[in-house]
Amino acid sequence: MNNKHSRLSLVLTLFFSLLMTACQPQAVEDTSSQSIDTGETNSEAAEIPAKTIDLDLDPAGGADFSLVENQLFETLVIMTEDGVFPWLAENGTVANDGLDYIFELRPGVFFQDGTMLDADAVIVNFDRWFDKESPLRGDGDFSMWKEAFGGFKGEVDAEGNLTSLYDGIEKVNDLTVLIHLNKPDADFFEKIANPAFSILSPTALSADTFIGTGPYLISEDTESNLDLVPFTRTSRMPRSVNGDECPS
């Protein structure tokens, strides 16, 4: 594990920087709607509503959202068969000791409720996952967090040691966060690429709704159909690296 972590420490900064230098954001141009059949009768997709419909769909809380996870929500980084790529984060670096991770967020990205993605929003999400006392936590068991990081805020084992690999997060500036670990975790980037750790709008969370930055938003939710329409008020993700397609 130590050898794997050392390799990550040496190559991630260069890898992320090279990728994002070559990849430039582009706007979503598709104006068509997308309909996901939930098993009964199909209906015509609705037009973009004045307000995103409230859907009880919490990626971190254990909700089953596999049909639409890549359409509604997005993570700081993504994992593909080719490795880890930055996504909502413009780049990420890890300290030589493996305990500190710095993420610089992509500027100009909006949540589907119109609020902007920034460091404060990322901190709210990490605090919500980590702290059982967070008022934004909801009813989910957050089992994916426990599986990935071992425990929650304040939890200790029989010897009094903290059970969580994750120690905390702090704001460096409006578009930069610093994440602390209690001990090195060579799989940290892969772990936060899990859709369960999608970054949601704090404004929406305060209203008990779950709204992300994805390329589609919900226009209608019925027992038989879930209709999505394009969300365009955002700097979209990179599409090419040196002429090759970036993961999407």
Q: Hey, where are the domains in the chain?
A: 2-245
Q: Please, which pLDDT band fits residue 63 given cuts at 50, 70 and 90?
A: low
Strand partners, 226: 36, 221
Tens digit of each residue's pLDDT (9 = 90 or more) over 9-43: 333 333 333 344 334 333 333 333 333 333 332 23
pTM for the structure as a whole: 0.73
Burial of 159 (0-12, 13-18, 19+ CB in 10 A): exposed
Q: Which CATH superfamily is domain 2-245 in?
A: Dipeptide-binding Protein; Domain 1 (3.90.76.10)
57 or 131: which leads in pLDDT: 131
Structure confidence by residue, pLDDT tens digits, 205-221: 998 888 999 988 877 66
How far apart CA 141 and CA 152 sit, in angstroms, is: 11
pLDDT band at residue 222 under the 50/70/90 scheme: low
